[in-house]
Amino acid sequence: MDEATSAIYNITEQHIIRAINALKGEHTIVMIAHRPTTMMNCDVLYMMENGRITNLWTYAELLARNAGFREMEREVNEKTRGIACYSK
């Protein structure tokens, strides 16, 4: 998902994520992502290392248990602090 949305505006990406979230409960959606903002609303996150699934977590569990993921989320939050989004 990250690669597919890397060249679009943030507001457009937010619309895409909202559309995907609207399908929740109706369809199984598999996304491959690196950005925490893309993963926030996923029911299950599969952590992969060296081509193997190493853990299954919720977003909150991943934040609590994985220092690397916490650091990545902190960096994203620092970059977006003070930026307002407008959506209709």
**Domains of the chain: which residue ranges?**
2-80
2 pLDDT higher than 70: no
CA distance 78 to 70: 12
pLDDT tens-digit profile of 58-78? 989 988 998 888 888 888 777
Q: What does the pLDDT read at residue 3? A: 59
SS3 letters across 14-82 = HHHHHHHHHCECCECCCCCCCCHHHHCCCCCEEEEECCEEEEEECHHHHHHHCHHHHHHHHHHHHHHCC
